[in-house]
Structure 1
Protein backbone atom coordinates (compact mmCIF):
# COMPACT_ATOMS: atom_id res chain seq x y z
CA UNK A 1 0.00 0.00 0.00
CA UNK A 2 1.36 3.39 -1.00
CA UNK A 3 -1.10 5.96 0.39
CA UNK A 4 0.08 9.44 1.29
CA UNK A 5 -1.51 12.23 3.31
CA UNK A 6 -0.48 15.80 2.46
CA UNK A 7 -0.84 18.86 4.66
CA UNK A 8 -0.67 22.13 2.75
CA UNK A 9 1.58 24.05 5.11
CA UNK A 10 1.45 27.09 2.85
CA UNK A 11 -0.12 27.62 -0.58
CA UNK A 12 3.27 26.72 -2.04
CA UNK A 13 4.44 23.93 0.26
CA UNK A 14 3.10 20.62 1.56
CA UNK A 15 4.32 18.02 4.04
CA UNK A 16 3.56 14.42 3.12
CA UNK A 17 3.34 11.36 5.34
CA UNK A 18 2.93 7.81 4.03
CA UNK A 19 0.00 6.08 5.70
CA UNK A 20 -0.24 2.54 7.00
CA UNK A 21 -3.91 2.78 7.92
CA UNK A 22 -6.75 5.24 8.42
CA UNK A 23 -8.02 4.60 11.95
CA UNK A 24 -10.83 7.16 12.08
CA UNK A 25 -12.47 9.67 9.80
CA UNK A 26 -15.49 11.78 10.72
CA UNK A 27 -17.00 15.24 10.77
CA UNK A 28 -17.93 16.98 13.99
CA UNK A 29 -20.06 20.10 14.35
CA UNK A 30 -16.89 22.14 13.93
CA UNK A 31 -14.38 20.39 11.69
CA UNK A 32 -13.21 17.27 9.86
CA UNK A 33 -11.52 14.87 12.29
CA UNK A 34 -9.17 12.05 11.30
CA UNK A 35 -6.61 9.75 12.89
CA UNK A 36 -4.12 8.04 10.61
CA UNK A 37 -1.25 5.68 11.35
CA UNK A 38 1.85 6.86 9.49
CA UNK A 39 5.17 5.12 8.81
CA UNK A 40 7.30 8.06 9.95
CA UNK A 41 5.42 9.59 12.89
CA UNK A 42 3.11 6.82 14.08
CA UNK A 43 -0.50 7.67 14.88
CA UNK A 44 -1.45 11.22 13.97
CA UNK A 45 -4.43 13.49 14.67
CA UNK A 46 -5.53 15.57 11.67
CA UNK A 47 -8.10 18.39 11.86
CA UNK A 48 -9.40 20.00 8.68
CA UNK A 49 -6.45 18.52 6.81
CA UNK A 50 -3.84 19.96 9.21
CA UNK A 51 -1.44 17.80 11.25
CA UNK A 52 -2.16 18.44 14.95
CA UNK A 53 -0.13 15.97 16.95
CA UNK A 54 1.71 12.68 16.50
CA UNK A 55 2.90 9.94 18.78
CA UNK A 56 6.48 10.53 17.63
CA UNK A 57 6.94 14.21 18.49
CA UNK A 58 3.96 15.32 20.64
CA UNK A 59 6.10 15.48 23.77
CA UNK A 60 8.02 18.51 22.49
CA UNK A 61 4.96 20.69 22.01
CA UNK A 62 3.13 19.58 25.14
CA UNK A 63 6.12 19.90 27.44
CA UNK A 64 7.02 23.34 26.14
CA UNK A 65 3.53 24.82 26.25
CA UNK A 66 2.97 23.51 29.79
CA UNK A 67 6.25 23.47 31.72
CA UNK A 68 7.63 26.86 30.65
CA UNK A 69 4.68 28.81 32.13
CA UNK A 70 4.19 26.49 35.10
CA UNK A 71 7.82 26.78 36.15
CA UNK A 72 7.76 30.54 35.55
CA UNK A 73 4.89 31.07 37.99
CA UNK A 74 6.10 30.31 41.55
CA UNK A 75 2.77 28.92 42.76
CA UNK A 76 0.39 27.90 39.94
CA UNK A 77 -2.46 26.48 41.99
CA UNK A 78 -5.28 27.03 39.52
CA UNK A 79 -4.69 26.45 35.81
CA UNK A 80 -6.93 26.69 32.77
CA UNK A 81 -6.27 25.00 29.44
CA UNK A 82 -8.31 26.26 26.50
CA UNK A 83 -8.41 23.72 23.68
CA UNK A 84 -5.95 20.87 23.87
CA UNK A 85 -8.54 18.22 23.04
CA UNK A 86 -5.88 15.56 22.49
CA UNK A 87 -5.12 15.73 26.23
CA UNK A 88 -1.36 16.18 26.01
CA UNK A 89 -1.16 19.60 27.62
CA UNK A 90 -3.41 18.72 30.53
CA UNK A 91 -1.38 15.50 30.99
CA UNK A 92 1.68 17.65 31.65
CA UNK A 93 -0.17 20.23 33.76
CA UNK A 94 -1.48 17.76 36.35
CA UNK A 95 2.04 16.41 36.91
CA UNK A 96 2.95 19.61 38.76
CA UNK A 97 2.72 19.30 42.53
CA UNK A 98 1.72 22.95 42.92
CA UNK A 99 -1.34 22.55 40.69
CA UNK A 100 -4.44 21.94 42.77
CA UNK A 101 -7.06 22.31 40.06
CA UNK A 102 -6.75 22.13 36.28
CA UNK A 103 -9.75 23.14 34.18
CA UNK A 104 -9.88 22.26 30.50
CA UNK A 105 -12.36 23.76 28.05
CA UNK A 106 -12.45 22.09 24.63
CA UNK A 107 -15.05 23.00 22.04
CA UNK A 108 -15.08 19.71 20.13
CA UNK A 109 -16.12 16.65 22.10
CA UNK A 110 -15.42 14.39 19.14
CA UNK A 111 -11.73 15.28 19.30
CA UNK A 112 -11.58 14.31 22.97
CA UNK A 113 -13.29 10.95 22.47
CA UNK A 114 -11.33 10.07 19.34
CA UNK A 115 -8.01 10.86 21.02
CA UNK A 116 -8.91 8.85 24.11
CA UNK A 117 -9.53 5.86 21.86
CA UNK A 118 -6.70 6.16 19.34
CA UNK A 119 -4.05 8.26 21.14
CA UNK A 120 -4.24 6.97 24.74
CA UNK A 121 -0.58 7.78 25.45
CA UNK A 122 -1.41 11.45 24.96
CA UNK A 123 -4.87 11.39 26.57
CA UNK A 124 -4.02 9.44 29.70
CA UNK A 125 -5.10 12.20 32.14
CA UNK A 126 -8.51 12.28 30.42
CA UNK A 127 -8.82 8.50 30.35
CA UNK A 128 -7.83 8.14 34.01
CA UNK A 129 -10.10 11.01 35.15
CA UNK A 130 -7.25 12.67 37.03
CA UNK A 131 -8.65 14.08 40.30
CA UNK A 132 -7.17 17.53 39.62
CA UNK A 133 -8.91 17.76 36.25
CA UNK A 134 -12.27 19.34 35.44
CA UNK A 135 -13.18 18.89 31.75
CA UNK A 136 -15.80 21.04 30.07
CA UNK A 137 -16.93 20.55 26.49
CA UNK A 138 -17.77 24.06 25.44
CA UNK A 139 -16.66 27.36 23.99
CA UNK A 140 -13.39 28.63 25.43
CA UNK A 141 -14.07 32.15 24.19
CA UNK A 142 -17.37 32.28 26.04
CA UNK A 143 -15.77 30.75 29.12
CA UNK A 144 -13.21 33.55 29.22
CA UNK A 145 -15.88 36.26 29.05
CA UNK A 146 -17.37 35.02 32.32
CA UNK A 147 -14.10 34.56 34.26
CA UNK A 148 -12.45 37.25 36.41
CA UNK A 149 -9.43 37.12 38.75
CA UNK A 150 -9.67 33.35 38.77
CA UNK A 151 -6.55 31.66 37.33
CA UNK A 152 -2.84 31.69 38.05
CA UNK A 153 -1.95 30.34 34.61
CA UNK A 154 -3.94 30.08 31.39
CA UNK A 155 -2.65 27.93 28.52
CA UNK A 156 -4.22 28.46 25.11
CA UNK A 157 -3.55 25.20 23.27
CA UNK A 158 -5.40 26.08 20.10
CA UNK A 159 -5.37 25.01 16.49
CA UNK A 160 -4.45 27.39 13.67
CA UNK A 161 -6.24 30.78 13.46
CA UNK A 162 -8.86 29.39 11.12
CA UNK A 163 -12.16 27.62 11.76
CA UNK A 164 -12.98 27.11 15.47
CA UNK A 165 -9.61 28.54 16.54
CA UNK A 166 -9.93 31.90 14.80
CA UNK A 167 -11.55 33.72 17.72
CA UNK A 168 -8.63 32.84 20.02
CA UNK A 169 -6.36 35.29 18.20
CA UNK A 170 -8.28 38.55 18.73
CA UNK A 171 -7.77 41.63 20.95
CA UNK A 172 -11.09 40.97 22.70
CA UNK A 173 -9.99 37.46 23.63
CA UNK A 174 -6.68 38.70 25.09
CA UNK A 175 -8.53 41.33 27.12
CA UNK A 176 -10.69 38.58 28.60
CA UNK A 177 -7.61 36.46 29.32
CA UNK A 178 -6.06 39.38 31.19
CA UNK A 179 -9.27 39.85 33.18
CA UNK A 180 -9.48 36.14 34.04
CA UNK A 181 -5.97 36.03 35.47
CA UNK A 182 -5.12 36.86 39.07
CA UNK A 183 -3.01 39.93 39.80
CA UNK A 184 0.21 37.96 39.30
CA UNK A 185 -1.12 35.59 36.60
CA UNK A 186 0.33 34.74 33.21
CA UNK A 187 -0.74 33.02 30.03
CA UNK A 188 0.83 31.22 27.08
CA UNK A 189 -0.48 30.60 23.58
CA UNK A 190 0.94 28.67 20.66
CA UNK A 191 1.67 31.26 17.99
CA UNK A 192 2.66 29.33 14.88
CA UNK A 193 5.87 29.32 12.83
CA UNK A 194 8.18 32.36 12.87
CA UNK A 195 9.31 31.34 9.40
CA UNK A 196 5.90 31.11 7.70
CA UNK A 197 3.58 33.20 9.90
CA UNK A 198 5.58 36.36 10.46
CA UNK A 199 2.76 38.89 10.10
CA UNK A 200 0.64 36.95 12.60
CA UNK A 201 3.46 36.80 15.16
CA UNK A 202 4.19 40.51 14.86
CA UNK A 203 0.50 41.31 15.28
CA UNK A 204 0.05 39.00 18.28
CA UNK A 205 3.16 40.26 20.06
CA UNK A 206 1.90 43.82 19.69
CA UNK A 207 -1.64 43.04 20.89
CA UNK A 208 -0.47 41.00 23.88
CA UNK A 209 2.24 43.54 24.70
CA UNK A 210 -0.35 46.31 24.95
CA UNK A 211 -1.98 44.44 27.84
CA UNK A 212 0.83 42.63 29.64
CA UNK A 213 3.91 44.39 31.05
CA UNK A 214 6.00 41.30 30.29
CA UNK A 215 5.56 39.77 26.84
CA UNK A 216 7.99 37.11 25.68
CA UNK A 217 8.23 34.76 22.70
CA UNK A 218 10.04 31.42 22.90
CA UNK A 219 10.87 28.65 20.47
CA UNK A 220 10.81 24.88 20.12
CA UNK A 221 11.74 22.54 17.29
CA UNK A 222 8.74 20.38 16.34
CA UNK A 223 9.27 18.23 13.22
CA UNK A 224 5.65 17.97 12.03
CA UNK A 225 4.81 21.66 12.37
CA UNK A 226 5.42 24.09 9.49
CA UNK A 227 9.18 24.63 8.95
CA UNK A 228 9.95 22.62 12.12
CA UNK A 229 10.41 25.86 14.06
CA UNK A 230 7.48 26.76 16.27
CA UNK A 231 6.91 29.60 18.71
CA UNK A 232 4.87 30.38 21.79
CA UNK A 233 4.00 33.79 23.23
CA UNK A 234 3.71 34.49 26.95
CA UNK A 235 1.94 37.45 28.52
CA UNK A 236 2.70 37.90 32.21
CA UNK A 237 1.50 40.44 34.76
CA UNK A 238 4.48 40.01 37.08
CA UNK A 239 6.87 37.13 36.44
CA UNK A 240 9.59 37.22 33.79
CA UNK A 241 10.22 33.71 32.41
CA UNK A 242 13.84 34.60 31.61
CA UNK A 243 14.43 35.46 35.27
CA UNK A 244 12.47 32.57 36.76
CA UNK A 245 14.04 30.71 39.66
CA UNK A 246 14.28 27.32 38.00
CA UNK A 247 17.33 26.13 39.95
CA UNK A 248 15.17 24.16 42.36
CA UNK A 249 12.25 23.21 40.16
CA UNK A 250 10.30 20.07 40.86
CA UNK A 251 12.09 17.23 39.07
CA UNK A 252 9.89 15.80 36.33
CA UNK A 253 10.79 13.08 33.88
CA UNK A 254 10.70 14.89 30.56
CA UNK A 255 11.98 14.14 27.06
CA UNK A 256 12.55 17.68 25.79
CA UNK A 257 12.12 20.32 28.48
CA UNK A 258 14.84 20.96 31.06
CA UNK A 259 16.31 23.92 32.96
CA UNK A 260 18.70 24.87 30.18
CA UNK A 261 16.01 24.55 27.50
CA UNK A 262 13.80 26.85 29.57
CA UNK A 263 16.44 29.57 29.38
CA UNK A 264 17.69 28.94 25.87
CA UNK A 265 14.21 28.84 24.30
CA UNK A 266 13.98 32.61 24.87
CA UNK A 267 17.21 33.26 22.99
CA UNK A 268 15.84 34.29 19.61
CA UNK A 269 17.52 34.41 16.20
CA UNK A 270 17.92 37.91 14.80
CA UNK A 271 15.16 37.48 12.23
CA UNK A 272 12.69 36.60 15.00
CA UNK A 273 13.82 39.52 17.12
CA UNK A 274 13.11 41.78 14.17
CA UNK A 275 9.52 40.53 14.04
CA UNK A 276 8.96 41.60 17.63
CA UNK A 277 10.35 45.13 17.46
Structure 2
Protein backbone atom coordinates (compact mmCIF):
# COMPACT_ATOMS: atom_id res chain seq x y z
CA UNK A 1 0.00 0.00 0.00
CA UNK A 2 1.41 3.38 -1.03
CA UNK A 3 2.09 5.93 1.67
CA UNK A 4 -0.32 8.84 1.83
CA UNK A 5 2.07 10.86 3.94
CA UNK A 6 3.12 14.04 2.15
CA UNK A 7 5.58 16.85 2.76
CA UNK A 8 4.39 20.19 1.39
CA UNK A 9 6.59 23.26 1.14
CA UNK A 10 4.81 26.60 0.84
CA UNK A 11 7.25 28.37 -1.45
CA UNK A 12 5.26 31.59 -1.33
CA UNK A 13 1.65 32.60 -0.66
CA UNK A 14 0.62 31.29 -4.07
CA UNK A 15 2.91 28.34 -4.71
CA UNK A 16 3.46 24.97 -3.06
CA UNK A 17 5.36 21.81 -3.89
CA UNK A 18 4.34 18.43 -2.49
CA UNK A 19 6.34 15.23 -2.20
CA UNK A 20 5.08 11.81 -1.17
CA UNK A 21 7.19 10.53 1.73
CA UNK A 22 7.68 7.03 3.05
CA UNK A 23 8.84 7.96 6.52
CA UNK A 24 10.28 10.67 8.71
CA UNK A 25 13.90 9.87 9.51
CA UNK A 26 14.77 12.76 11.82
CA UNK A 27 13.15 15.84 13.30
CA UNK A 28 14.46 18.45 15.75
CA UNK A 29 14.48 22.09 16.69
CA UNK A 30 18.08 23.31 16.71
CA UNK A 31 19.26 26.51 18.33
CA UNK A 32 18.59 28.31 15.05
CA UNK A 33 15.91 26.50 13.05
CA UNK A 34 13.68 23.48 12.68
CA UNK A 35 15.32 20.58 10.83
CA UNK A 36 13.71 17.51 9.31
CA UNK A 37 15.00 14.63 7.25
CA UNK A 38 12.44 12.57 5.35
CA UNK A 39 12.53 9.76 2.82
CA UNK A 40 10.65 10.69 -0.35
CA UNK A 41 9.47 8.49 -3.20
CA UNK A 42 10.59 10.82 -5.99
CA UNK A 43 13.86 12.36 -4.81
CA UNK A 44 15.24 10.08 -2.12
CA UNK A 45 16.31 11.53 1.22
CA UNK A 46 15.29 15.16 1.72
CA UNK A 47 16.70 17.80 4.09
CA UNK A 48 14.22 20.46 5.25
CA UNK A 49 15.14 23.59 7.25
CA UNK A 50 12.37 25.81 8.63
CA UNK A 51 9.93 24.08 6.31
CA UNK A 52 12.02 24.80 3.18
CA UNK A 53 13.62 22.19 0.91
CA UNK A 54 17.40 22.39 1.15
CA UNK A 55 18.69 19.35 -0.72
CA UNK A 56 17.79 15.85 -1.88
CA UNK A 57 19.82 12.80 -2.82
CA UNK A 58 18.54 12.82 -6.41
CA UNK A 59 19.04 16.43 -7.54
CA UNK A 60 21.69 17.86 -5.17
CA UNK A 61 24.44 17.56 -7.75
CA UNK A 62 22.96 20.28 -9.94
CA UNK A 63 23.06 22.95 -7.26
CA UNK A 64 26.35 21.98 -5.66
CA UNK A 65 28.24 21.55 -8.93
CA UNK A 66 26.97 24.78 -10.44
CA UNK A 67 27.61 26.83 -7.32
CA UNK A 68 31.14 25.44 -6.97
CA UNK A 69 32.61 24.80 -10.40
CA UNK A 70 31.66 27.94 -12.30
CA UNK A 71 33.67 30.08 -9.88
CA UNK A 72 36.53 27.62 -9.55
CA UNK A 73 36.83 27.37 -13.34
CA UNK A 74 36.90 31.17 -13.60
CA UNK A 75 39.81 31.73 -11.20
CA UNK A 76 43.11 30.49 -12.73
CA UNK A 77 44.68 29.26 -9.50
CA UNK A 78 42.28 29.01 -6.55
CA UNK A 79 44.09 27.85 -3.44
CA UNK A 80 41.99 29.11 -0.54
CA UNK A 81 38.20 28.74 -0.58
CA UNK A 82 35.51 29.75 1.92
CA UNK A 83 31.95 28.45 1.98
CA UNK A 84 29.52 30.45 4.11
CA UNK A 85 26.61 28.21 5.07
CA UNK A 86 26.43 24.92 3.21
CA UNK A 87 26.50 22.75 6.30
CA UNK A 88 25.48 19.69 4.27
CA UNK A 89 28.99 19.72 2.76
CA UNK A 90 28.00 19.57 -0.91
CA UNK A 91 29.95 22.63 -2.07
CA UNK A 92 32.97 21.57 -0.02
CA UNK A 93 32.84 18.15 -1.72
CA UNK A 94 32.93 19.81 -5.14
CA UNK A 95 35.53 22.45 -4.25
CA UNK A 96 38.16 19.99 -3.09
CA UNK A 97 37.94 18.14 -6.41
CA UNK A 98 40.11 20.97 -7.76
CA UNK A 99 43.78 20.03 -7.40
CA UNK A 100 44.89 23.62 -6.73
CA UNK A 101 42.69 23.98 -3.63
CA UNK A 102 44.88 23.70 -0.55
CA UNK A 103 42.39 24.97 2.05
CA UNK A 104 38.61 24.94 2.16
CA UNK A 105 36.86 26.54 5.13
CA UNK A 106 33.22 25.85 5.95
CA UNK A 107 31.67 28.57 8.13
CA UNK A 108 28.29 27.19 9.22
CA UNK A 109 26.31 28.72 12.07
CA UNK A 110 24.32 25.58 12.92
CA UNK A 111 26.52 22.66 13.87
CA UNK A 112 23.55 20.31 13.97
CA UNK A 113 23.13 20.66 10.20
CA UNK A 114 26.68 19.39 9.76
CA UNK A 115 26.21 16.44 12.10
CA UNK A 116 22.82 15.40 10.73
CA UNK A 117 24.12 15.67 7.15
CA UNK A 118 27.01 13.36 7.98
CA UNK A 119 24.52 10.82 9.28
CA UNK A 120 21.79 10.96 6.64
CA UNK A 121 23.61 12.38 3.58
CA UNK A 122 27.02 10.66 3.65
CA UNK A 123 27.58 11.14 -0.08
CA UNK A 124 26.95 14.89 0.12
CA UNK A 125 28.98 15.30 3.31
CA UNK A 126 31.85 13.06 2.19
CA UNK A 127 34.34 15.91 1.77
CA UNK A 128 34.01 17.19 5.33
CA UNK A 129 36.59 14.72 6.62
CA UNK A 130 39.23 15.73 4.05
CA UNK A 131 42.40 17.11 5.71
CA UNK A 132 42.20 20.28 3.59
CA UNK A 133 38.79 21.10 5.08
CA UNK A 134 38.42 23.32 8.14
CA UNK A 135 34.89 23.22 9.59
CA UNK A 136 34.11 26.30 11.68
CA UNK A 137 30.81 26.29 13.58
CA UNK A 138 30.38 30.03 13.70
CA UNK A 139 28.48 33.01 12.39
CA UNK A 140 29.57 33.18 8.75
CA UNK A 141 29.01 36.93 8.54
CA UNK A 142 31.37 37.56 11.44
CA UNK A 143 33.88 35.03 10.10
CA UNK A 144 34.05 36.91 6.80
CA UNK A 145 34.60 40.21 8.62
CA UNK A 146 37.38 38.70 10.73
CA UNK A 147 39.44 37.29 7.82
CA UNK A 148 40.35 40.08 5.38
CA UNK A 149 42.38 39.23 2.28
CA UNK A 150 42.50 35.48 2.90
CA UNK A 151 40.49 33.83 0.14
CA UNK A 152 40.62 33.36 -3.62
CA UNK A 153 37.01 32.24 -3.91
CA UNK A 154 34.09 32.65 -1.49
CA UNK A 155 30.71 30.94 -1.81
CA UNK A 156 27.51 32.08 -0.15
CA UNK A 157 25.57 28.82 0.16
CA UNK A 158 22.70 30.30 2.13
CA UNK A 159 19.21 29.16 2.96
CA UNK A 160 16.28 31.28 1.79
CA UNK A 161 16.44 34.94 2.95
CA UNK A 162 14.59 34.35 6.21
CA UNK A 163 15.76 33.93 9.80
CA UNK A 164 19.55 33.64 10.27
CA UNK A 165 20.19 33.95 6.50
CA UNK A 166 18.75 37.45 6.01
CA UNK A 167 22.12 39.15 6.58
CA UNK A 168 23.73 37.06 3.84
CA UNK A 169 21.82 39.07 1.22
CA UNK A 170 22.83 42.54 2.48
CA UNK A 171 25.15 44.97 0.68
CA UNK A 172 27.19 45.42 3.86
CA UNK A 173 27.91 41.70 3.81
CA UNK A 174 28.98 41.75 0.15
CA UNK A 175 31.40 44.55 1.04
CA UNK A 176 32.84 42.35 3.78
CA UNK A 177 33.12 39.51 1.26
CA UNK A 178 35.09 41.81 -1.05
CA UNK A 179 37.41 42.66 1.83
CA UNK A 180 37.93 38.96 2.63
CA UNK A 181 38.96 38.20 -0.95
CA UNK A 182 42.46 38.56 -2.30
CA UNK A 183 43.12 41.22 -4.92
CA UNK A 184 42.05 38.93 -7.78
CA UNK A 185 39.35 37.04 -5.86
CA UNK A 186 35.73 36.34 -6.71
CA UNK A 187 32.59 35.17 -4.98
CA UNK A 188 29.39 33.39 -5.97
CA UNK A 189 26.06 33.48 -4.13
CA UNK A 190 22.87 31.57 -4.71
CA UNK A 191 20.22 34.18 -5.50
CA UNK A 192 16.89 32.36 -5.74
CA UNK A 193 14.36 32.05 -8.59
CA UNK A 194 13.89 34.61 -11.40
CA UNK A 195 10.21 33.72 -11.44
CA UNK A 196 9.39 34.33 -7.78
CA UNK A 197 12.27 36.38 -6.32
CA UNK A 198 12.64 39.19 -8.84
CA UNK A 199 13.04 41.97 -6.26
CA UNK A 200 15.77 40.10 -4.40
CA UNK A 201 17.67 39.32 -7.61
CA UNK A 202 17.51 42.94 -8.76
CA UNK A 203 18.71 44.22 -5.39
CA UNK A 204 21.57 41.73 -5.09
CA UNK A 205 22.68 42.38 -8.67
CA UNK A 206 22.67 46.14 -8.13
CA UNK A 207 24.61 45.84 -4.85
CA UNK A 208 27.23 43.48 -6.30
CA UNK A 209 27.59 45.64 -9.42
CA UNK A 210 28.37 48.61 -7.16
CA UNK A 211 31.10 46.72 -5.33
CA UNK A 212 32.78 44.58 -8.01
CA UNK A 213 34.05 45.49 -11.49
CA UNK A 214 32.59 42.26 -12.84
CA UNK A 215 29.05 41.14 -11.93
CA UNK A 216 27.33 38.32 -13.80
CA UNK A 217 24.23 36.20 -13.18
CA UNK A 218 23.90 32.61 -14.40
CA UNK A 219 21.27 29.89 -14.23
CA UNK A 220 20.86 26.20 -13.46
CA UNK A 221 17.82 23.95 -13.10
CA UNK A 222 17.10 22.33 -9.74
CA UNK A 223 13.79 20.41 -9.78
CA UNK A 224 12.93 20.77 -6.09
CA UNK A 225 13.61 24.51 -5.81
CA UNK A 226 10.81 27.01 -6.50
CA UNK A 227 9.96 26.86 -10.26
CA UNK A 228 13.09 24.79 -10.98
CA UNK A 229 14.96 27.76 -12.52
CA UNK A 230 17.65 28.92 -10.09
CA UNK A 231 20.03 31.85 -10.23
CA UNK A 232 23.57 32.45 -9.02
CA UNK A 233 25.34 35.80 -8.90
CA UNK A 234 29.11 36.20 -9.30
CA UNK A 235 31.11 39.23 -8.21
CA UNK A 236 34.71 39.21 -9.41
CA UNK A 237 37.60 41.62 -8.94
CA UNK A 238 39.51 40.58 -12.08
CA UNK A 239 38.41 37.42 -13.87
CA UNK A 240 35.39 37.17 -16.16
CA UNK A 241 33.54 33.82 -16.13
CA UNK A 242 33.38 33.66 -19.95
CA UNK A 243 36.55 35.43 -21.12
CA UNK A 244 38.71 33.79 -18.45
CA UNK A 245 37.10 30.35 -18.28
CA UNK A 246 39.73 27.75 -17.42
CA UNK A 247 40.12 24.27 -18.97
CA UNK A 248 38.06 21.74 -17.07
CA UNK A 249 39.87 20.40 -14.01
CA UNK A 250 37.38 17.83 -12.73
CA UNK A 251 35.94 14.77 -14.41
CA UNK A 252 33.44 13.23 -12.01
CA UNK A 253 30.56 15.66 -12.50
CA UNK A 254 26.96 14.91 -13.43
CA UNK A 255 25.79 18.37 -14.55
CA UNK A 256 28.73 20.73 -14.97
CA UNK A 257 30.69 20.71 -18.24
CA UNK A 258 32.72 23.32 -20.12
CA UNK A 259 29.75 23.82 -22.44
CA UNK A 260 27.26 24.14 -19.58
CA UNK A 261 29.53 26.76 -18.01
CA UNK A 262 29.19 28.88 -21.14
CA UNK A 263 25.50 28.19 -21.65
CA UNK A 264 24.59 29.09 -18.06
CA UNK A 265 25.28 32.76 -18.86
CA UNK A 266 22.99 32.77 -21.93
CA UNK A 267 20.05 34.33 -20.12
CA UNK A 268 16.43 34.33 -21.29
CA UNK A 269 15.31 37.81 -22.29
CA UNK A 270 13.14 38.31 -19.21
CA UNK A 271 16.11 37.54 -16.94
CA UNK A 272 18.33 39.90 -18.94
CA UNK A 273 15.75 42.63 -18.37
CA UNK A 274 15.58 41.77 -14.69
CA UNK A 275 19.27 42.48 -14.12
CA UNK A 276 19.89 45.15 -16.74
CA UNK A 277 19.44 47.96 -14.23
Structure 2 equivalent of residue 275 of structure 1: 274
Alignment of 1:100-249 (within 5 A): 100-126=102-128, 129-246=129-246, 248-249=247-248
SS in structure 1 of the partner of residue 72 of structure 2: helix
SS in structure 2 of the partner of residue 147 of structure 1: coil
How far is 1:21 from its partner? 0.7
Counterpart CA distance in 1 for 2:243 and 2:262 is: 9
Counterpart CA distance in 1 for 2:170 and 2:221 is: 26
How far is 1:79 from its partner? 0.4
The one of 18, 25, 28 aligned to 1:26: 28
SS in structure 2 of the partner of residue 210 of structure 1: helix
SS in structure 2 of the partner of residue 142 of structure 1: helix
Structure 2 equivalent of residue 5 of structure 1: 7
Counterpart CA distance in 1 for 2:127 and 2:218 is: 26
Counterpart CA distance in 2 for 1:260 and 1:214 is: 21
Contact 2:248 2:257 in 1 (8 A): no
Q: 1:6-30 CA distances to partner (integer Å, 9 max, x unpaired)?
A: 0001101100000101000000010
How far is 1:174 from its partner? 0.6
How far is 1:239 from its partner? 0.2
Counterpart CA distance in 2 for 1:114 and 1:180 is: 29
How far is 1:245 from its partner? 3.5
Q: 1:93-146 CA distances to partner (integer Å, 9 max, x unpaired)?
A: 1111010100110000111111100111111112xx101100000100111111
How far is 1:197 from its partner? 0.3
Q: 1:206-265 CA distances to partner (integer Å, 9 max, x unpaired)?
A: 00100000000000010000000000000000000011243x322421100000000000
Counterpart CA distance in 1 for 2:10 and 2:197 is: 14
Counterpart CA distance in 2 for 1:27 and 1:251 is: 38
Contact 2:43 2:57 in 1 (8 A): yes
How far is 1:35 from its partner? 0.3
Structure 1 equivalent of residue 254 of structure 2: 255
**For this pair of structures, how many residues does the alignment match?**
274
Counterpart CA distance in 2 for 1:161 and 1:245 is: 30
Residues 1:17 and 2:19 are matched in the alignment: yes
Structure 1 equivalent of residue 68 of structure 2: 66
Alignment CA distance shift 1:32-1:272 (3 Å):
same
Structure 2 equivalent of residue 57 of structure 1: 59
SS in structure 2 of the partner of residue 185 of structure 1: strand
How far is 1:147 from its partner? 1.5
TM-score scaled by length of structure 2: 0.98
The one of 39, 42, 45 aligned to 1:40: 42
Structure 1 runs of 4+ with >6 Å offset:
none
Contact 2:98 2:250 in 1 (8 A): no
Q: 1:186-219 CA distances to partner (integer Å, 9 max, x unpaired)?
A: 0000000011000100000000100000000000
